[in-house]
Amino acid sequence: MVAVSLSGRSKLWVLIERIYNPSVISSSYSNTQYHSRLIGGLIQKRNLNFQANSTMGICTSSEKFKLGVLLVNIGGPENLNDVQPFLCNLFADPDVIRLPKLFKFLQRPLAKLISILLAPKTKQRYAAIGGGSPLRRITDEQADALRTALEAKNLHANVYVGMRCWYPFMEEAIQQIKWDRITKLVLLPLFPQFSISTTGSSIRVLQRIFMDDAYLLRLPVSIIRFWYRRQGYIRSIADSIVTQLSKFEKPEEVLIFFSAHGVPVSYDENAGDPYKDQIEECIYLITREHRVGPVQWLKPYTNEVLVELGRKGVKSLLAVPIRELGRVPALGCTSSFITDLADAVVEALPSAKSLSILRETAKESDCR
């Protein structure tokens, strides 16, 4: 646990949770469930029986392109039977468990072993939150809200949902994008901060699929790699915090916990993953918006203190009870948040380039 002290009476605590804790996954910024119903007239069933909705995403005569927006998230199991295969897909991702090239052949077997070992405890966690993940359902709602927000800006778009580790997979969504003959695409991973294991993995999948398809290779794409600095996002979280604090008897004395997915230390130290730094910057921006003063990182971490106390022979420990407990809800379809995402899509359009152009540019750079 990392503690952050603020220059006032309030204190801010940051809690990094393991990625397979469903109670954390289900409260992330873009909560989702799983069955394959893509907004804009897309996937209706797992067996890829697609049914187009003719009222969505149709280009008017004044439009120069047919826009698609692909929302990407990790996904989650719909029921307890889905937990083990979902975990297997998660850990089979080479950007989640990074093996040396010599041992790449062990990726899938290792993922299956880990998923089998973790499944019992993970099932208990999902059972505690209703027996499945709500991630897909809320992402569908966000996709619908985003399409409406874009319509309000006179921008017609098909909004698609693709998951990395469960249905509907990114591959399904991209296939539908091709069938819909989209002529310009914005990739919007629903991860505010960039990490190799989330946005990086999503980009890798998109590149792999596009490079093997002549139509997709020529499709102009703009990738929003991170968006945690956007003022609309920061303000939406800060406003939500203020709203929840107002419900406490003494708001100025409340401890605030931020929960975020953890990544292996090696990502930060060896692979240059910016996730940790971006999380810290994001928290600073939120606290600045909330006007609670500068942030100073404090140690020692709670788990380190507990270990040290054990080494010193401490046999008993008294934990001071919390009299009031609140929770800041995920942003979901908060109007200011969705409007900001729509603005991000609009701002990303001018930078859209086909992967074939990017590949040629990279070749030219290599030759210089």
301-326, pLDDT tens digit by residue?
666 777 787 888 877 776 555 677 78
Task: Quote the mean pLDDT of the chain.
Answer: 80
Task: Please state, for a pLDDT cut of 90, what percent of the chain lies above it.
Answer: 58
Reported confidence tier of residue 358, pLDDT bands at 50, 70, 90: low
Instruction: Report which residue type is found at 101.
Output: K
Question: What distance in Å separates the CA atoms of residue 188 and residue 225, rounded to the nearest whole number?
Answer: 8
Residue 318, pLDDT score: 66
Question: What distance in Å separates the CA atoms of residue 5 and residue 256, rounded to the nearest whole number?
Answer: 10
Structure tokens belonging to residue 1? 């646990």
Mean pLDDT of 4-19: 38
Neighbours of 316 (CB within 10 A): 4
Neighbours of 209 (CB within 10 A): 17
Mean pLDDT of 62-83: 91
Task: Give phi and psi for 25, each to the nearest 5.
Answer: -60, -40
Give the torsion through C-alpha atoms of 334, 339, 340, 346, to 10 deg.
Answer: 150
Structure tokens belonging to residue 28? 């992330």
Reported confidence tier of residue 63, pLDDT bands at 50, 70, 90: low
The better pLDDT of the pair 219, 267 is held by 219
Question: What distance in Å separates the CA atoms of residue 355 and residue 357, rounded to the nearest whole number?
Answer: 5
Q: Which fold has domain 67-227+332-366?
A: Rossmann fold (3.40.50)
In the numeric block, the tokens 């091709």 are attached to 178
Cis peptide before 94 (omega within 30 of 0): no
Contact 310, 213 (CB under 8 A): no
DSSP H/E element including 315: none
Question: In the 8-state DSSP scheme, what is residue 58?
Answer: P
- 147-177, pLDDT tens digit by residue? 999 999 999 999 999 999 999 999 999 999 9
Residue 325, pLDDT score: 73
**What is the end-to-end Cα distance of the chain in Å, rounded?**
47
DSSP H/E element including 101: none
Residue 297, pLDDT score: 47
Question: What distance in Å separates the CA atoms of residue 282 and residue 291, rounded to the nearest whole number?
Answer: 14
Q: Does this chain's domain 67-227+332-366 share its CATH topology with 231-328? A: yes
Question: What distance in Å separates the CA atoms of residue 285 and residue 119, rounded to the nearest whole number?
Answer: 37
Nearest to 188 by CA among 227, 217, 238, 141: 227
Task: Give phi and psi for 246, each to the nearest 5.
Answer: -65, -15
Question: What distance in Å separates the CA atoms of residue 230 and residue 228, rounded to the nearest whole number?
Answer: 6
Q: What is the DSSP string of 38-72?
A: -TTT-B-STT--B---TTSSPPPTT-SS-EEEEEE
Question: In the 8-state DSSP scheme, what is residue 50?
Answer: B
- Domain layout of the chain by residue ranges: 67-227+332-366, 231-328
pTM value is: 0.76
Mean pLDDT of 226-244: 94
Which CATH architecture describes the domain 231-328? 3-Layer(aba) Sandwich (3.40)
Reported confidence tier of residue 259, pLDDT bands at 50, 70, 90: confident
Mean pLDDT of 134-148: 96
